[in-house]
A and B are shown apart, each in its own frame.
Chain A
Amino acid sequence: MLDERWTPEVEEIGDALRRILSAESSPEQVRKAEAEENGRDAALEQTLAEFGLGDLRRVDI
Protein backbone atom coordinates (compact mmCIF):
# COMPACT_ATOMS: atom_id res chain seq x y z
CA MET A 1 0.00 0.00 0.00
CA LEU A 2 1.20 3.50 -0.79
CA ASP A 3 2.33 5.46 2.25
CA GLU A 4 3.80 8.96 2.21
CA ARG A 5 4.86 8.94 5.86
CA TRP A 6 8.35 8.39 7.26
CA THR A 7 8.79 5.01 8.92
CA PRO A 8 8.99 4.98 12.77
CA GLU A 9 12.70 4.16 12.46
CA VAL A 10 13.36 7.33 10.46
CA GLU A 11 11.28 9.41 12.86
CA GLU A 12 13.38 7.98 15.72
CA ILE A 13 16.60 8.99 13.99
CA GLY A 14 15.21 12.48 13.43
CA ASP A 15 14.23 12.79 17.08
CA ALA A 16 17.64 11.60 18.27
CA LEU A 17 19.44 14.00 15.94
CA ARG A 18 17.21 16.85 17.10
CA ARG A 19 18.12 16.08 20.72
CA ILE A 20 21.86 16.11 19.94
CA LEU A 21 21.68 19.38 18.04
CA SER A 22 19.57 21.04 20.73
CA ALA A 23 22.20 20.15 23.32
CA GLU A 24 25.37 20.67 21.31
CA SER A 25 24.60 23.24 18.66
CA SER A 26 23.08 26.18 20.50
CA PRO A 27 23.25 29.66 18.90
CA GLU A 28 26.23 30.45 21.14
CA GLN A 29 28.06 27.30 20.02
CA VAL A 30 27.35 28.08 16.35
CA ARG A 31 28.69 31.64 16.76
CA LYS A 32 31.76 30.30 18.48
CA ALA A 33 32.39 27.88 15.59
CA GLU A 34 31.86 30.71 13.10
CA ALA A 35 34.53 32.69 14.89
CA GLU A 36 37.05 29.88 14.38
CA GLU A 37 39.32 30.19 11.39
CA ASN A 38 37.84 27.17 9.61
CA GLY A 39 34.28 27.87 10.82
CA ARG A 40 33.85 24.33 12.09
CA ASP A 41 32.94 22.71 15.41
CA ALA A 42 35.20 19.70 15.73
CA ALA A 43 33.46 18.37 18.85
CA LEU A 44 30.05 18.46 17.18
CA GLU A 45 31.42 16.80 14.07
CA GLN A 46 32.86 14.05 16.24
CA THR A 47 29.51 13.57 17.99
CA LEU A 48 27.65 13.39 14.68
CA ALA A 49 30.16 10.90 13.31
CA GLU A 50 29.68 8.72 16.41
CA PHE A 51 25.93 9.06 15.93
CA GLY A 52 26.38 7.49 12.51
CA LEU A 53 25.28 10.36 10.31
CA GLY A 54 27.50 9.09 7.50
CA ASP A 55 25.66 5.76 7.43
CA LEU A 56 22.14 7.18 7.13
CA ARG A 57 21.81 6.54 3.42
CA ARG A 58 21.59 2.85 4.25
CA VAL A 59 18.48 3.28 6.34
CA ASP A 60 15.27 2.05 4.76
CA ILE A 61 12.98 5.04 4.73
Chain B
Amino acid sequence: MNFQPDEEDNLYRDKLRAIAAEYGWQEMRALRDEAEELHLERFSFEFQNRLGREGLIGLTWPAPYGKGARVDQQFLMAEELECQGFPGYGLTSIQRGGGMLLRSGSEEQIAEHLPHVADGSWVYCQGLSEPGAGSDLLSLRTRAVREGDEYVINGSKLWTSTAHHANWCSLLVRTDPEQSRHKGLSLLLVDLKSPGVTMQPVWVLGGWHVNAVFYDNVRVPAKNLVGQENQGWKVITGNLDEERAMSFGGTETRLLCARLIHRLQERADTLGESDLERLGHFIMELEADRLLYLRVGLQAARGEDTSGSGPMSKVYGSELAQQFVEWAAELLGRETLYQESEDVLANDLEQQVRVATVLTVIGGTSEVQRNIVATRYLGLPRSN
Protein backbone atom coordinates (compact mmCIF):
# COMPACT_ATOMS: atom_id res chain seq x y z
CA MET B 1 0.00 0.00 0.00
CA ASN B 2 1.50 3.32 -1.01
CA PHE B 3 -0.25 6.67 -1.21
CA GLN B 4 2.92 8.74 -1.23
CA PRO B 5 3.86 9.80 -4.77
CA ASP B 6 7.55 10.09 -5.56
CA GLU B 7 9.34 12.39 -7.99
CA GLU B 8 8.65 10.17 -11.00
CA ASP B 9 4.96 9.83 -10.09
CA ASN B 10 4.70 13.61 -10.01
CA LEU B 11 6.37 14.18 -13.40
CA TYR B 12 3.26 15.37 -15.25
CA ARG B 13 1.63 16.93 -12.21
CA ASP B 14 4.66 19.20 -11.95
CA LYS B 15 4.43 20.00 -15.66
CA LEU B 16 0.79 21.00 -15.23
CA ARG B 17 1.70 22.96 -12.11
CA ALA B 18 4.27 24.93 -14.14
CA ILE B 19 1.61 25.73 -16.75
CA ALA B 20 -0.81 26.76 -14.01
CA ALA B 21 1.75 29.26 -12.74
CA GLU B 22 1.32 31.16 -16.03
CA TYR B 23 -2.41 31.56 -15.52
CA GLY B 24 -3.34 34.53 -13.39
CA TRP B 25 -6.83 35.65 -12.50
CA GLN B 26 -7.47 37.32 -15.88
CA GLU B 27 -6.43 34.22 -17.82
CA MET B 28 -8.56 31.96 -15.63
CA ARG B 29 -11.47 34.36 -16.07
CA ALA B 30 -11.01 34.11 -19.86
CA LEU B 31 -11.19 30.29 -19.73
CA ARG B 32 -14.41 30.48 -17.74
CA ASP B 33 -15.86 33.05 -20.13
CA GLU B 34 -15.00 30.83 -23.09
CA ALA B 35 -16.91 27.86 -21.60
CA GLU B 36 -19.85 30.15 -20.85
CA GLU B 37 -19.93 31.60 -24.38
CA LEU B 38 -19.69 28.14 -25.93
CA HIS B 39 -22.42 26.84 -23.60
CA LEU B 40 -20.14 23.96 -22.68
CA GLU B 41 -19.52 22.15 -19.44
CA ARG B 42 -16.06 23.19 -18.21
CA PHE B 43 -14.49 23.14 -21.63
CA SER B 44 -12.01 25.52 -23.22
CA PHE B 45 -10.55 25.07 -26.68
CA GLU B 46 -7.76 27.46 -25.75
CA PHE B 47 -6.77 25.31 -22.79
CA GLN B 48 -7.39 22.06 -24.65
CA ASN B 49 -4.97 23.12 -27.39
CA ARG B 50 -2.43 24.14 -24.79
CA LEU B 51 -2.59 20.67 -23.24
CA GLY B 52 -2.14 19.21 -26.72
CA ARG B 53 0.93 21.33 -27.41
CA GLU B 54 2.40 20.25 -24.08
CA GLY B 55 1.77 16.57 -24.89
CA LEU B 56 -0.57 16.14 -21.92
CA ILE B 57 -3.50 14.56 -23.76
CA GLY B 58 -3.70 10.77 -23.72
CA LEU B 59 -0.68 10.47 -21.43
CA THR B 60 -1.16 6.75 -20.84
CA TRP B 61 -1.54 5.88 -24.52
CA PRO B 62 1.40 4.18 -26.21
CA ALA B 63 3.76 6.16 -28.45
CA PRO B 64 3.50 7.80 -30.92
CA TYR B 65 0.11 9.10 -29.74
CA GLY B 66 0.76 9.26 -26.02
CA LYS B 67 3.64 9.07 -23.59
CA GLY B 68 3.09 5.56 -22.27
CA ALA B 69 2.75 7.13 -18.82
CA ARG B 70 1.50 5.16 -15.84
CA VAL B 71 -2.09 5.67 -14.83
CA ASP B 72 -1.14 7.09 -11.44
CA GLN B 73 0.95 9.72 -13.21
CA GLN B 74 -2.09 10.66 -15.28
CA PHE B 75 -4.25 10.60 -12.16
CA LEU B 76 -2.00 13.06 -10.38
CA MET B 77 -1.87 15.35 -13.43
CA ALA B 78 -5.65 15.32 -13.85
CA GLU B 79 -6.13 15.90 -10.14
CA GLU B 80 -3.85 18.90 -10.26
CA LEU B 81 -5.75 20.25 -13.25
CA GLU B 82 -9.07 20.18 -11.41
CA CYS B 83 -7.61 21.33 -8.12
CA GLN B 84 -6.17 24.37 -9.90
CA GLY B 85 -9.64 25.16 -11.25
CA PHE B 86 -8.94 24.44 -14.93
CA PRO B 87 -11.73 23.16 -17.19
CA GLY B 88 -11.18 19.41 -17.19
CA TYR B 89 -14.23 18.04 -18.92
CA GLY B 90 -12.82 18.47 -22.44
CA LEU B 91 -9.75 16.43 -21.61
CA THR B 92 -11.68 13.51 -20.21
CA SER B 93 -14.28 13.46 -22.98
CA ILE B 94 -11.82 13.47 -25.88
CA GLN B 95 -9.51 11.00 -24.15
CA ARG B 96 -12.52 8.71 -23.90
CA GLY B 97 -12.93 8.91 -27.69
CA GLY B 98 -9.26 8.10 -28.22
CA GLY B 99 -9.28 5.32 -25.64
CA MET B 100 -12.22 3.69 -27.38
CA LEU B 101 -10.35 3.61 -30.68
CA LEU B 102 -7.21 2.20 -29.08
CA ARG B 103 -9.28 -0.57 -27.49
CA SER B 104 -11.60 -1.38 -30.38
CA GLY B 105 -10.74 0.63 -33.50
CA SER B 106 -9.06 -0.51 -36.69
CA GLU B 107 -5.47 0.47 -37.50
CA GLU B 108 -6.81 2.91 -40.10
CA GLN B 109 -9.19 4.53 -37.59
CA ILE B 110 -6.42 4.86 -35.03
CA ALA B 111 -4.06 6.39 -37.59
CA GLU B 112 -6.74 8.83 -38.81
CA HIS B 113 -8.10 9.96 -35.45
CA LEU B 114 -5.48 9.65 -32.73
CA PRO B 115 -3.13 12.41 -33.95
CA HIS B 116 -6.09 14.83 -33.90
CA VAL B 117 -7.16 13.66 -30.45
CA ALA B 118 -3.64 14.01 -29.11
CA ASP B 119 -3.13 17.56 -30.40
CA GLY B 120 -6.57 18.65 -29.20
CA SER B 121 -7.85 19.58 -32.66
CA TRP B 122 -10.79 17.12 -32.82
CA VAL B 123 -13.51 16.89 -30.23
CA TYR B 124 -15.66 13.81 -29.60
CA CYS B 125 -19.06 13.24 -28.07
CA GLN B 126 -21.12 10.14 -27.36
CA GLY B 127 -24.59 9.53 -28.83
CA LEU B 128 -26.18 7.07 -26.42
CA SER B 129 -29.43 7.96 -24.62
CA GLU B 130 -32.64 8.43 -26.58
CA PRO B 131 -35.86 10.38 -26.06
CA GLY B 132 -38.44 8.55 -23.99
CA ALA B 133 -35.99 5.95 -22.72
CA GLY B 134 -34.92 7.65 -19.48
CA SER B 135 -31.90 5.84 -18.05
CA ASP B 136 -32.64 2.71 -20.03
CA LEU B 137 -29.88 2.97 -22.60
CA LEU B 138 -30.56 -0.49 -24.03
CA SER B 139 -34.04 0.36 -25.29
CA LEU B 140 -32.48 2.48 -28.04
CA ARG B 141 -34.23 2.55 -31.42
CA THR B 142 -31.92 4.57 -33.68
CA ARG B 143 -31.37 2.37 -36.72
CA ALA B 144 -28.43 1.96 -39.11
CA VAL B 145 -28.96 -0.02 -42.29
CA ARG B 146 -26.06 -1.20 -44.40
CA GLU B 147 -26.26 -0.08 -48.04
CA GLY B 148 -23.14 -1.04 -49.98
CA ASP B 149 -20.15 0.73 -48.45
CA GLU B 150 -22.28 2.90 -46.22
CA TYR B 151 -24.64 2.80 -43.27
CA VAL B 152 -27.80 4.90 -43.40
CA ILE B 153 -28.83 6.19 -39.99
CA ASN B 154 -32.27 7.30 -38.84
CA GLY B 155 -33.26 8.21 -35.31
CA SER B 156 -32.54 10.66 -32.54
CA LYS B 157 -30.45 10.98 -29.41
CA LEU B 158 -30.94 13.05 -26.28
CA TRP B 159 -28.60 14.50 -23.63
CA THR B 160 -25.63 14.46 -26.02
CA SER B 161 -22.98 16.56 -24.24
CA THR B 162 -20.63 18.73 -26.32
CA ALA B 163 -22.24 17.74 -29.65
CA HIS B 164 -22.66 21.40 -30.68
CA HIS B 165 -18.87 21.81 -30.83
CA ALA B 166 -17.78 18.23 -31.50
CA ASN B 167 -16.30 16.98 -34.76
CA TRP B 168 -17.28 13.36 -34.23
CA CYS B 169 -19.94 11.41 -32.42
CA SER B 170 -19.49 7.84 -31.20
CA LEU B 171 -23.01 6.76 -32.05
CA LEU B 172 -24.63 3.62 -30.68
CA VAL B 173 -27.19 2.30 -33.17
CA ARG B 174 -29.27 -0.79 -33.72
CA THR B 175 -28.05 -2.71 -36.77
CA ASP B 176 -30.04 -5.89 -36.16
CA PRO B 177 -33.72 -5.07 -35.50
CA GLU B 178 -34.46 -8.74 -34.76
CA GLN B 179 -32.32 -8.52 -31.65
CA SER B 180 -33.16 -6.57 -28.49
CA ARG B 181 -31.42 -4.98 -25.53
CA HIS B 182 -27.61 -5.23 -25.77
CA LYS B 183 -27.64 -7.55 -28.79
CA GLY B 184 -27.69 -6.24 -32.35
CA LEU B 185 -26.05 -2.90 -31.53
CA SER B 186 -23.14 -1.31 -33.38
CA LEU B 187 -20.89 1.66 -32.79
CA LEU B 188 -20.37 4.12 -35.65
CA LEU B 189 -18.15 7.17 -35.80
CA VAL B 190 -20.30 9.91 -37.30
CA ASP B 191 -18.92 13.14 -38.73
CA LEU B 192 -21.31 15.67 -37.21
CA LYS B 193 -21.10 17.85 -40.34
CA SER B 194 -22.73 15.06 -42.36
CA PRO B 195 -25.93 16.01 -44.25
CA GLY B 196 -29.00 15.01 -42.26
CA VAL B 197 -27.56 15.76 -38.81
CA THR B 198 -29.44 18.49 -36.94
CA MET B 199 -29.40 19.59 -33.31
CA GLN B 200 -31.44 21.41 -30.73
CA PRO B 201 -30.06 22.69 -27.44
CA VAL B 202 -31.36 21.21 -24.20
CA TRP B 203 -30.44 23.55 -21.34
CA VAL B 204 -29.43 21.98 -18.08
CA LEU B 205 -29.34 23.36 -14.53
CA GLY B 206 -25.57 23.76 -14.60
CA GLY B 207 -25.83 26.67 -17.06
CA TRP B 208 -24.57 24.94 -20.21
CA HIS B 209 -26.57 22.96 -22.72
CA VAL B 210 -26.53 19.39 -23.94
CA ASN B 211 -28.26 18.46 -27.17
CA ALA B 212 -31.02 16.60 -28.87
CA VAL B 213 -29.39 15.30 -32.06
CA PHE B 214 -31.47 14.11 -34.99
CA TYR B 215 -30.22 11.74 -37.70
CA ASP B 216 -32.27 11.84 -40.88
CA ASN B 217 -30.94 9.48 -43.56
CA VAL B 218 -27.37 10.23 -42.51
CA ARG B 219 -24.86 8.31 -44.62
CA VAL B 220 -21.73 7.08 -42.88
CA PRO B 221 -18.90 5.15 -44.55
CA ALA B 222 -18.87 1.50 -43.42
CA LYS B 223 -15.20 1.93 -42.51
CA ASN B 224 -16.41 4.08 -39.61
CA LEU B 225 -17.78 1.00 -37.84
CA VAL B 226 -15.81 0.59 -34.60
CA GLY B 227 -15.33 -3.06 -33.68
CA GLN B 228 -17.59 -5.62 -35.29
CA GLU B 229 -21.14 -5.18 -36.52
CA ASN B 230 -23.71 -6.05 -33.83
CA GLN B 231 -20.95 -6.06 -31.19
CA GLY B 232 -21.31 -2.38 -30.27
CA TRP B 233 -22.22 -3.09 -26.67
CA LYS B 234 -18.75 -4.52 -26.05
CA VAL B 235 -17.24 -1.32 -27.46
CA ILE B 236 -19.41 1.06 -25.49
CA THR B 237 -19.12 -0.68 -22.11
CA GLY B 238 -15.40 0.20 -22.16
CA ASN B 239 -16.40 3.84 -22.68
CA LEU B 240 -18.98 3.71 -19.89
CA ASP B 241 -16.46 2.17 -17.49
CA GLU B 242 -14.01 4.94 -18.42
CA GLU B 243 -16.69 7.59 -17.92
CA ARG B 244 -17.63 6.31 -14.47
CA ALA B 245 -13.94 6.34 -13.55
CA MET B 246 -13.91 10.14 -13.90
CA SER B 247 -14.01 12.35 -10.83
CA PHE B 248 -17.66 13.40 -10.64
CA GLY B 249 -17.48 16.37 -8.31
CA GLY B 250 -15.17 15.22 -5.53
CA THR B 251 -11.96 16.78 -6.83
CA GLU B 252 -13.52 20.15 -7.66
CA THR B 253 -15.21 20.12 -4.25
CA ARG B 254 -11.78 19.90 -2.62
CA LEU B 255 -10.84 23.15 -4.32
CA LEU B 256 -14.13 24.74 -3.26
CA CYS B 257 -13.60 23.49 0.29
CA ALA B 258 -10.09 24.98 0.41
CA ARG B 259 -11.47 28.32 -0.80
CA LEU B 260 -14.23 28.20 1.80
CA ILE B 261 -11.74 27.51 4.60
CA HIS B 262 -9.67 30.46 3.39
CA ARG B 263 -12.79 32.64 3.53
CA LEU B 264 -13.78 31.36 6.96
CA GLN B 265 -10.45 32.41 8.43
CA GLU B 266 -11.80 35.97 8.38
CA ARG B 267 -14.73 34.99 10.58
CA ALA B 268 -13.49 31.94 12.47
CA ASP B 269 -14.89 33.32 15.74
CA THR B 270 -18.45 33.16 14.36
CA LEU B 271 -18.32 29.43 13.69
CA GLY B 272 -20.03 27.09 16.10
CA GLU B 273 -18.99 23.62 17.17
CA SER B 274 -21.45 22.03 14.78
CA ASP B 275 -19.98 24.00 11.83
CA LEU B 276 -16.49 22.78 12.68
CA GLU B 277 -17.70 19.22 13.13
CA ARG B 278 -19.43 19.30 9.77
CA LEU B 279 -16.36 20.76 8.09
CA GLY B 280 -14.17 18.08 9.63
CA HIS B 281 -16.60 15.46 8.45
CA PHE B 282 -16.47 16.78 4.89
CA ILE B 283 -12.65 16.74 4.95
CA MET B 284 -12.77 13.03 5.85
CA GLU B 285 -15.34 12.28 3.18
CA LEU B 286 -13.37 14.15 0.53
CA GLU B 287 -10.32 12.06 1.41
CA ALA B 288 -12.41 8.88 1.12
CA ASP B 289 -13.68 10.10 -2.25
CA ARG B 290 -10.10 10.65 -3.43
CA LEU B 291 -9.14 7.11 -2.50
CA LEU B 292 -12.20 5.62 -4.20
CA TYR B 293 -11.38 7.62 -7.33
CA LEU B 294 -7.72 6.61 -7.21
CA ARG B 295 -8.59 2.94 -6.74
CA VAL B 296 -10.64 2.88 -9.94
CA GLY B 297 -7.71 4.26 -11.93
CA LEU B 298 -5.19 1.87 -10.43
CA GLN B 299 -7.48 -1.13 -10.94
CA ALA B 300 -7.98 -0.14 -14.58
CA ALA B 301 -4.22 0.11 -15.04
CA ARG B 302 -3.82 -3.44 -13.75
CA GLY B 303 -6.48 -4.62 -16.18
CA GLU B 304 -8.93 -5.39 -13.37
CA ASP B 305 -12.69 -5.03 -13.64
CA THR B 306 -13.81 -1.53 -12.60
CA SER B 307 -17.46 -1.90 -13.56
CA GLY B 308 -18.43 -2.06 -9.88
CA SER B 309 -15.89 0.25 -8.25
CA GLY B 310 -16.30 3.01 -10.89
CA PRO B 311 -19.99 3.55 -10.11
CA MET B 312 -19.18 3.48 -6.39
CA SER B 313 -16.75 6.35 -6.88
CA LYS B 314 -19.18 8.20 -9.16
CA VAL B 315 -22.16 8.09 -6.83
CA TYR B 316 -20.05 8.90 -3.77
CA GLY B 317 -18.27 11.90 -5.34
CA SER B 318 -21.33 13.44 -6.98
CA GLU B 319 -23.55 13.16 -3.91
CA LEU B 320 -20.76 14.44 -1.68
CA ALA B 321 -20.34 17.46 -3.99
CA GLN B 322 -24.06 18.17 -3.64
CA GLN B 323 -24.09 17.81 0.14
CA PHE B 324 -21.00 19.98 0.54
CA VAL B 325 -22.14 22.87 -1.58
CA GLU B 326 -25.57 22.99 0.04
CA TRP B 327 -23.95 23.14 3.46
CA ALA B 328 -21.41 25.76 2.32
CA ALA B 329 -24.17 27.95 0.88
CA GLU B 330 -26.10 27.66 4.14
CA LEU B 331 -22.99 28.64 6.08
CA LEU B 332 -22.30 31.75 3.99
CA GLY B 333 -25.96 32.70 3.96
CA ARG B 334 -28.67 31.48 1.64
CA GLU B 335 -29.02 34.99 0.24
CA THR B 336 -25.70 34.48 -1.55
CA LEU B 337 -27.54 32.11 -3.89
CA TYR B 338 -30.15 34.62 -4.97
CA GLN B 339 -28.25 37.77 -5.83
CA GLU B 340 -25.79 38.98 -8.44
CA SER B 341 -22.56 39.56 -6.59
CA GLU B 342 -18.97 40.61 -7.01
CA ASP B 343 -18.14 37.85 -4.54
CA VAL B 344 -16.53 35.22 -6.76
CA LEU B 345 -16.75 32.44 -4.17
CA ALA B 346 -20.46 33.12 -3.62
CA ASN B 347 -21.04 33.05 -7.38
CA ASP B 348 -19.14 29.80 -7.71
CA LEU B 349 -21.13 28.26 -4.88
CA GLU B 350 -24.36 29.36 -6.53
CA GLN B 351 -23.28 27.75 -9.78
CA GLN B 352 -22.06 24.62 -8.03
CA VAL B 353 -25.42 24.12 -6.31
CA ARG B 354 -26.83 23.68 -9.82
CA VAL B 355 -23.83 21.80 -11.27
CA ALA B 356 -23.67 19.30 -8.42
CA THR B 357 -27.30 18.39 -9.01
CA VAL B 358 -26.48 17.67 -12.65
CA LEU B 359 -23.50 15.53 -11.63
CA THR B 360 -25.78 13.11 -9.81
CA VAL B 361 -27.68 12.57 -13.06
CA ILE B 362 -25.24 12.66 -16.00
CA GLY B 363 -23.29 9.54 -16.84
CA GLY B 364 -26.10 7.50 -15.24
CA THR B 365 -28.19 8.57 -12.25
CA SER B 366 -27.26 7.70 -8.69
CA GLU B 367 -30.04 5.10 -8.74
CA VAL B 368 -28.52 3.43 -11.82
CA GLN B 369 -25.06 3.54 -10.24
CA ARG B 370 -26.31 1.93 -7.02
CA ASN B 371 -27.95 -0.85 -8.99
CA ILE B 372 -24.65 -1.47 -10.79
CA VAL B 373 -22.75 -1.55 -7.48
CA ALA B 374 -25.28 -4.09 -6.19
CA THR B 375 -25.00 -6.40 -9.19
CA ARG B 376 -21.39 -5.99 -10.34
CA TYR B 377 -19.56 -5.21 -7.10
CA LEU B 378 -21.59 -7.22 -4.60
CA GLY B 379 -22.74 -9.84 -7.12
CA LEU B 380 -26.38 -9.60 -6.02
CA PRO B 381 -29.03 -10.96 -8.38
CA ARG B 382 -30.99 -8.54 -10.56
CA SER B 383 -34.56 -7.81 -9.50
CA ASN B 384 -37.29 -9.05 -11.85
Q: Which residues of B contact A61 (CB under 8 A)?
A: 1
A52, B325: Cα distance in complex, Å: 46
> In the complex, how many angstroms separate the beta carbon of A39 from the nearest chain B beta carbon?
32
Tell me which residues from 294 to 320 in chain B have a Cβ below 8 Å from any Cβ of chain A: 294-295, 298
B339 interface residue (CB < 8 Å to A): no
State whether the Cβ of A5 lies closer than 8 Å to any Cβ in chain B.
yes
The answer, yes or no, to whether A50 is at the interface (CB within 8 Å) is no
Counting contact residues on chain B (CB < 8 A from A), the size range is: 10 to 19
Chain A: which residue is nearest B5 at the CB level?
A2
**Chain A residues closer than 8 Å to B295, beta-carbon distance:** 4
Please determine whether B1 and A5 come into contact, CB atoms closer than 8 angstroms. yes
Interface residue tally for chain A (C-beta within 8 Å): 9
How many A-B residue contacts, CB cutoff 8 Å? 26
One digit per residue, 1 when the CB lies within 8 angstroms of any chain B CB and 0 when it does not, for chain A 29-61 equals: 000000000000000000000000000000001
Q: Which residue of B lies closest to A3 (CB)?
A: B2
Give the chain B neighbours of A10 by CB distance below 8 A.
Answer: 1
Q: Point out the residues of chain A lying under 8 angstroms from B5, CB to CB.
A: 2
Tell me if B3 is interfacial: C-beta within 8 Å of chain A.
yes
The answer to whether the Cβ of B243 comes within 8 Å of any Cβ in the partner chain is: no
| Binary contact readout A6-36 vs B (1 if CB under 8 angstroms, 0 otherwise) | 1100100000000000000000000000000
- The yes or no answer to B67 lying at the interface (CB within 8 A) is no
Q: Which of B1, B3, B72 contacts A7 (CB 8 A)?
A: B1
Contacts of B61-80 to chain A: CB distance below 8 A: 70, 72, 75
Q: Of all chain B residues, which has the CB nearest A5?
A: B1
Binding site for A on B (CB under 8 A): 1-3, 5, 9, 70, 72, 75, 291, 294-295, 298
Top-4 shortest CB links A-B = A2-B72, A4-B295, A3-B2, A61-B1
